[in-house]
Structure 1
């Protein structure tokens, strides 16, 4: 799957609207911001369709992946947007990372942990912003916001120190194009 996909999911009290641009999107944030509610709405719609009272709009199928049999379930999913709630420890495994790299699915992962095995972009880490009032009669609207903004470090770097004096140093020295000083520390204990 390639491209951008818009998703809107709502029931009579809550609505989420967002777009996915890359195959891995991370949702982070404090408790009670609506992360698990989003996954619950997707799960409920997946199980009961429109009888759930939930409306889901997306050109791709949206599925929830969870539990110990995640790998067998994932092998059956093609061209889907897969939501994974926090607490599913398999997302931290090398086996999961390997399956994601081979997959043609998009993944939306709710987590507060770092996922060192997954190749996701810092630009695809979001929190959930809520607007509207909590009330039985008014709908609460949720949208994603970027946790890390667009950084332009070009003019802020003065000196770059590399651990080694070989290929790492050679790479960063060449990338710097003499715009900033690049030097080797001669080993990690010297940094």
Structure 2
């Protein structure tokens, strides 16, 4: 999956692969800023632009980008949310109530969507490859995702 997100101040350029991806890091590492900028794109703020392309080269439309954070309240059964749409991307903040559901790992597994979880700590209950765990880093005025554990090409 490729995510290109930009506003007047910052540009994010992420390359991820697979169904599950984690963005981790301490406070002040632009994790929440990425989430808030993406939320502005969803609200049609004119200065924010975004393109998301899935692992198969298909563009993911704005209506298939879902952001779940601590202010997000679920008005319907969460099973329906993840099973009613396919090919969507769910960006989930660690404070979202959805991550505390007892069967959410199974729900994610059965879903045909992509998941990006933004958290300070890695979730042990989700089958995530070490090369799908990222930190954010600023390189030449662009914020990119960098593998947390595989630092060299030979590690992958």
Count of residues in Structure 1 that have an aligned counterpart in Structure 2: 140
1:23 aligns with 2:31: no
- Corresponding residue number in structure 2 for 1:56: 50
Residues 158-191 of structure 1, C-alpha deviation per residue, up to 9 Å, x if partnerless?
xxxxxxxxxxxxxxxxxxxxxxxxxxxxxxxxxx
- Corresponding residue number in structure 2 for 1:135: none
Equivalent pair of 2:24/2:122 in contact (CA under 8 Å): no
TM-score using structure 2 length:
0.78
Equivalent pair of 1:33/1:130 in contact (CA under 8 Å): no
3-state DSSP of counterpart to 1:52: coil
Paired with 2:138 and 2:28, the residues of 1 have a C-alpha distance of: 11
Q: Structure 2: any 5+ residue segments left out of the alignment?
A: 53-58
**CA 1:100/1:33 → structure 2, altered by over 3 Å: closer, same or farther?**
same
Paired with 1:85 and 1:73, the residues of 2 have a C-alpha distance of: 16
Equivalent pair of 1:22/1:124 in contact (CA under 8 Å): yes
Q: 1:88 offset after TM fit, Å? A: 1.5
1:94 aligns with 2:102: yes
Q: 1:30 offset after TM fit, Å? A: 1.3
Equivalent pair of 1:91/1:115 in contact (CA under 8 Å): no
Paired with 2:104 and 2:122, the residues of 1 have a C-alpha distance of: 14
**CA 1:96/1:68 → structure 2, altered by over 3 Å: closer, same or farther?**
farther
Paired with 1:14 and 1:34, the residues of 2 have a C-alpha distance of: 10
Paired with 1:92 and 1:120, the residues of 2 have a C-alpha distance of: 18
Cα RMSD for the two superposed structures: 2.3
Q: Which has the higher contact order (CA 8 A, sep 6+)?
A: 2
3-state DSSP of counterpart to 1:77: coil
Equivalent pair of 2:136/2:146 in contact (CA under 8 Å): yes
Q: 1:150 offset after TM fit, Å? A: 6.4
**CA 1:15/1:25 → structure 2, altered by over 3 Å: closer, same or farther?**
same
- Corresponding residue number in structure 1 for 2:149: 148
